[in-house]
Chains A and B, each alone.
Chain A
Amino acid sequence: MVDSPATPDAAGEPADAELLARARRGDERAFAALVRRHGRYLYGVARAIVQNDHDAEDAVQEAFAAAAAAGASYRGESSVRTWLVAILARQAALLRRKRARWWRRPEPETSALLDPGPVPASDARLDLATMLARLSVEHREVIVLRELEGMSYEQIAAALHVPRGTVESRLHRAREHLRGLFAERDDDKTNDHKRNER
C-alpha cells in the first residue's frame, strides 16, 4: 500500500496544515511539498474509484487545485489528508458527470476477481482497483472512503453530497457484493488447486 510519509513533525518538516496555509498564500514550494507528500496516495484512491489512469490523474490534479483555492475552509476537524481525500472524491464525481455529458465510458468488463489467471500465492495481495472493478462507482466510492481512509458516515455523506442513510445502505450492499465476489474467487482457486493436485 502507498502510505504518506511518517508524521512530518517528527522529521522536522512542516506539518500538512502549515503547508496548506502557505500554499494558499501562494507559496509554490509548500504546495509542491504537499503534492509530493500526498499525491501518490491520492492517485491510488482515485484510481480505485474511477478505474482508469487518465481520469485518476485528472481527478488528483483538480483536487489539489480545489484544495489550494479552498485552503481557508480547512478547519482542522480531520487530518489534511482526509480533507484532501474528501475533495478528491467530490472532484472525481464532478469529473464523472462532466464526462457523462459527452460520452459513456464503458466500465471494465473483466476483473481479476472473476478471472484470476494463474493461481496466485494464497497470501498474494490484490491491487485495490482490480479488487473493486466489479462494483458500481457509487459502491467503490463508499468502500474506499470508509475502509481505506476511515472516514465516518457523516464525512462521507458530506463529501459525496448524499444523505447519511444512503452511505449506510451503500456500504452494506457494497460489502455484500464484494464478499460474494471473493467467495467466487476463492471457490475458483480451490477448484484450480484440486485440478493441479490430480
Chain B
Amino acid sequence: MNCPRSNLISTYHDGEFSPSQAAELRAHLDECAECREELEQVSQLSRRIREATLAEPSAEAVEHWAGELSIVQDRGVRRLASWMTAAAATIMVAVGLFTLADDGTSTAASIELAPVDAVALLPDGESAPPTVVAAEWMATDLAGGLADARRWP
C-alpha cells in the first residue's frame, strides 16, 4: 500500500468517522484508485464473513441452558450472602480496631497484634463491648489464618 490514507479505509467502511472526516475521505476516494480498491476488498471480506455458517450447539446443550434460571438465582443468592458476610466482617473488624485506637492504646499499624493488645488493655473487671469482642474474635481468626499460611513451605 502506497497511499498513506489506505489505513483509514477500514474505519471509513465501518461508518465510524465524523461526517466531516467521512466527507474528506469520500473526496479522496474520487481521486485515489488504490483506496477505492482497498474499500472494495474490505467490503468483500465483510460479505464473506457475514455469509459464513455458524457452528450449532447440540439440542441438549440448549435445553440445559434453558433450564438454568433457578440454578443461576441460587448461585446469585449464595454469592450475595457471601459478599454481605465478608462486608459485615470487615466492618466489624474496622469498628473494633478504631474503637481501640480511640483509647490511644493501639494504632492501625499494629493490626496483627490488635486482639492481644485489646484484651491486655481493658481495665480490671470491665468486659469489652460486644462489637469489640466480635472484632477481636475475627481479627484473631484472620491473624491465625495468616500465621498458618506463613507456615507453608
B48 touches A48 (CB 8 A): no
Q: Does B76 contact A (CB under 8 A)?
A: yes
Which of chain B's residues have a CB closer than 8 A to the CB of A171?
10-11, 14
Take A146-B14, A153-B16, A175-B10 as given contacts and tell me if A2 and B54 are in contact as well, using a CB distance cutoff of 8 Å: yes
Q: Does B75 contact A (CB under 8 A)?
A: yes
- Name the contact of A68 in the complex, choosing from B46, B55, B67, B69 (C-beta under 8 A): B69
A122 CA / B120 CA spacing, docked (Å): 86
Q: Does A119 contact B (CB under 8 A)?
A: no
Stretch of B57-65, B103-111, B127-135 lying at the A interface: B57-65
Q: Does B56 contact A (CB under 8 A)?
A: yes
Q: Does B102 contact A (CB under 8 A)?
A: no
A-B contact count (CB 8 A): 118
Take A44-B54, A56-B55 as given contacts and tell me if A69 and B49 are in contact as well, using a CB distance cutoff of 8 Å: no
Q: Does B72 contact A (CB under 8 A)?
A: yes
Q: Does A127 contact B (CB under 8 A)?
A: yes
CB-CB contacts below 8 Å: B26-56 with A: 41-42, 45-46, 48-56
Which of chain A's residues have a CB closer than 8 A to the CB of B53?
1-2, 125-128
- Who on chain B is nearest to A153 by CB? B16
* Minimum Cβ distance to chain B for residue A85 (Å): 12
18 A-B residue contacts at CB 8 Å? A1-B53, A1-B54, A2-B54, A32-B66, A43-B57, A57-B57, A60-B61, A61-B68, A64-B72, A65-B72, A68-B69, A69-B76, A126-B52, A128-B55, A147-B46, A175-B42, A175-B45, A182-B45
Known: A2-B54, A127-B53. 20 other contacts (CB 8 A): A1-B51, A35-B65, A35-B66, A36-B66, A40-B57, A41-B54, A43-B62, A47-B55, A53-B55, A57-B61, A64-B68, A65-B68, A68-B69, A68-B72, A69-B72, A128-B49, A128-B52, A128-B53, A175-B10, A179-B41
**Chain B: residues with CB nearer than 8 A to chain A?**
7, 10-11, 14, 16, 41-42, 45-46, 48-57, 61-62, 64-70, 72-73, 75-76
